[in-house]
Amino acid sequence: MARHSNTPFVILGILGIAPRPLSGYDIKQVIDGTISHFWSESYGQIYPVLKQLTAEKKIAAHAVSGSERRKVVYTITARGQKSLGEWLEETPELSPRRNALTLKLFFGSQTKVSVSIRHLADHCERFKAMRAQYSAWLKATAGENERYTPYQRLTLMEGGAMCDAFVTWAETSIQTLEKLEKTR
């Protein structure tokens, strides 16, 4: 949980834009529902980090009282906003790519051509489905500038653009490999 982990800042960022205090469970829901296309966190990360951020006074815990189930919700503090602001200013690292499809494709000469074609076609279908999802999200959030900031829409566009580029490349690659298969 040292210098490198982005988990604390994901939590601070989500609490910063949330219209109401959120529980650990809520935060996980937001991550899975809204930013899952470029980020993920598990409960095994979230709950310990919530405790840590509370100890650092970057978030404040509020026990939900009344007849409800045991539940704690969190809000971001001024100190937390400062910490988040500093992190946002730091130049983000180039995300290391570790791509299982590309890896297998690279070693394609050591298996049948049809295997590589199958992997490409399979990934292609999945990226087309993802593309459709991005388009649907973009359509759904159009004009709703209060709930969805322009920044959030930019990340959706990035996802869409990457899907498109991948699909184009994959389809071309399949054709290249089909020609290769015939010349054998």
Binding positions for its own copies, rule: CB under 8 A: 6, 9-10, 13, 16-17, 35, 37-40, 81, 84-85, 87-89, 91-111, 115-116, 118-119, 122-123, 126, 149-152, 154-155, 157-158, 161-162, 164-166, 168-169, 172-173, 176-177, 180
Binding test (CB under 7 A) with DNA, winner from 33, 44, 92, 143: 44
Q: 107 near 140, Cβ under 8 Å?
A: no
- Residue 171 binding target from its own copies, DNA, none, CB below 5 to 8 Å by type: none
Identify any residues that bridge with 72 across adjacent strands, giving them in sequence order: 63
Closest CB 90 distance from its own copies, rounded Å: 8
Determine, following the binding rule CB under 7 A, whether residue 1 of this chain makes contact with DNA: yes
139: how many CB neighbours lie within 10 A of its CB? 8
- Measured from the CB atom, is 9 or 73 closer to its own copies? 9
Determine, following the binding rule CB under 7 A, whether residue 20 of this chain makes contact with DNA: no
Closest CB 68 distance from its own copies, rounded Å: 30
| Binding region for DNA (CB under 7 A) | 1-7, 23-26, 29, 40-45, 47-48, 50-51, 67-73, 96, 98
